[in-house]
Amino acid sequence: MSTVIDTMGAQRSTAREFLGRLAGALKHAWDGYCAWRIQEATIACLRTLSDRQLEDIGLARSQIDCAVRGALRIHPNIVRDC
């Protein structure tokens, strides 16, 4: 009888572990999607600025993509609020 109970407990433990890993993978994918959306929105917003406005914040038009993507790599907590 204890063998049956032990087997059921092991199955539940395996199922919980699988669900935990699945939840972690989904959260990681969601965080990546949110980061990508934030990057694209920021790039689109910066591209609407005039060259003078970009100069005021220290960017050239050709630096927009690198500045946005680089900032998110340096400060990964920026992407948490999606």
Is the pLDDT confidence value at 23 over 50?
A: yes
Whether 45 has a pLDDT exceeding 60, the answer reads yes
pLDDT (0 to 100) of residue 53: 95
Q: How far is CA 23 from CA 17, 20, 28, 67, 79, in A?
A: 10, 5, 9, 32, 18
Handedness of CA 29, 31, 35, 41 (dihedral sign): positive
Written as six digits, the tokens of 43 are 């790039």
Token pair for residue 16?
């919980």
Q: Which two tokens stand for residue 79?
A: 């992407």
pLDDT of amino acid 47: 96
Give pLDDT, residue 82: 31
Considering the chain, what percentage of its residues have pLDDT values greater than 70? 73
pLDDT, average across residues 50-64: 92
- Rounded CA-CA distance 54/45 in Å is 11
